């Protein structure tokens, strides 16, 4: 599942084990003009429309800073 989208858009490999073969297979599927690429691009386009709001960048930066400050305060 993609973190921001809260659904599968394209493969993510955020775990610690060696996933070289999985990453290569997924990348090859996305590099062609096949179904996997079209599905991924359509999903990313939909996600962009969902999250692309005026001022979102500043709000996202403020949220990241707030979380970082909370972490530092708790450390």
In a domain, 11, yes or no: no
In a domain, 67, yes or no: yes
Distance, in Å, from the CA atom of 38 to the CA atom of 31, rounded to the nearest integer, reads: 10
- Look at the chain and report how many structural domains it folds into: 1
Least confident of 13-17, 32-36, 56-60, 68-72: 13-17
- With a cut of 90, say whether residue 44 has pLDDT above it: yes
Phi, psi of 40 (to 5 degrees): -65, -45
Average pLDDT (47-75) is 88
User: What residues pair up with 2 in beta bridges, in sequence order?
Assistant: 7
Q: What is the three-class DSSP state of 34?
A: coil
- With a cut of 80, say whether residue 18 has pLDDT above it: no
In a domain, 66, yes or no: yes
In a domain, 10, yes or no: no
User: What residues pair up with 7 in beta bridges, in sequence order?
Assistant: 2
Instruction: State the pLDDT at residue 16.
Output: 60
């Amino acid at each position: 599942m993609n973190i921001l989208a809260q659904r599968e858009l394209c493969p993510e490999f955020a775990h610690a084990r060696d996933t070289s073969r999985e990453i290569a297979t997924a990348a090859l599927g996305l590099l062609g003009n096949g179904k996997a690429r079209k599905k991924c691009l359509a999903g990313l386009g939909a996600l962009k429309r969902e999250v692309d709001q005026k001022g979102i960048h500043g709000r996202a930066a403020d949220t990241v800073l707030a979380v970082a400050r909370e972490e530092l305060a708790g450390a």
